[in-house]
Amino acid sequence: MSDAIVSVRDVSWRAGNTDVLDRVRLDVRPGEFVAVMGRNGAGKSTLLDIIAGLRAATAGDVLLDGRAVSEQSPIDRARLVAHLPQTIRGDLSVRAEALVLMGRYVHATGWFESADDRAIAADAMRRCDCVQFRDRIVSTLSGGERQRVLLAACFAQRPRVLLLDEPATFLDLDQQLECFTLLRDETRQGMACLAVTHDVNLAATFCSRLTVLAERSVAFDLEAATALDAPEWLHAISPRLAVHPSANGRPWVGYR
């Protein structure tokens, strides 16, 4: 796929004697919102770490905007990719606004943040509904409040690719919907996003593609709009999932 901004080429990764990923291939274009799904241990977080350049693949390579990740400096990658891992220390003793401004460091031209940097950070906090926390120490925030601040820091970075490992973690239901709506809106403006999630209905509603990892590789890569029309892929996640019509006639995944 020549216009892909992320190209995963036969990537494998091994932990000791255990193969976690085996010859994974995946392309993501600008404007795509890809849900990365699968059971625990399927390699979802590992895949995002490799794309971000935080782990070296045992075999294969990742291209970001046509260049191998292994050949890019950390500053080059950070200007292109923002990565929100699954867990981040919660005892950070910095103000929330200062944490969001850290997303601007990669674009810094001097010792201090510019007026543009502060405006971009403020806009990111507004969009992530966390302006009210700007003067709070991060360690005093709840898990959901902290998650919104961390997401704002990713947006302040102004990346072309977002790698988000369970971005709705700790969020209440309304904030989960707000989060995925915001990500969908960003991709419609041309950003590429890969988000690990276990929520099938959120993924099917807001994402453009569903990529399911199983047996150490990509088992399914589906268009989200039609994925529930042929739901056999759900068994790669759980045999207790089944598709039912909702009140408005739209397919919906329920539990058995």
- Give residue for tokens 């971009």: 120
- Structure token pair of residue 131: 């302006």
- Which pLDDT score, from 0 to 100, does residue 1 have? 44
- Give residue for tokens 């990529």: 211
The C-alpha atoms of residue 52 and residue 55 are separated, in whole angstroms, by 8
Confidence of residue 2 (pLDDT cuts 50, 70, 90): low
Instruction: Say if CB 212 and CB 236 are below 8 A apart.
Output: yes
Q: What is the 3-state secondary structure (H, E, C) of 57-81?
A: CCEEEEEECCEEHHHCCHHHHHHHE
- Which pLDDT score, from 0 to 100, does residue 108 have? 80
Our separate counts of H helices and E strands in the chain read: 7, 12
The tens digit of pLDDT for each residue in 162-218 reads 999 999 999 999 999 999 999 999 999 999 999 999 999 999 999 999 999 999 999
- Which pLDDT score, from 0 to 100, does residue 245 have? 86
Instruction: Say if CB 35 and CB 68 are below 8 A apart.
Output: no
Rg (CA), the chain: 18
Please name which of 154, 152, 148, 165 lies closest in space to residue 85, comparing C-alpha atoms.
165
Instruction: Say if CB 165 and CB 44 are below 8 A apart.
Output: yes
User: Average pLDDT in the 231-237 region?
Assistant: 95
The C-alpha atoms of residue 135 and residue 192 are separated, in whole angstroms, by 31
The tens digit of pLDDT for each residue in 102-121 reads 999 998 876 778 899 999 99
Beta bridge partners of 138: none
Q: 6-87+160-255: what fold? A: Rossmann fold (3.40.50)
List the domain boundaries for the chain: 6-87+160-255
Pairing of strands 59-64, 33-37: unpaired
The tens digit of pLDDT for each residue in 5-59 reads 999 999 999 999 999 999 999 999 999 999 999 999 999 999 999 999 999 999 9
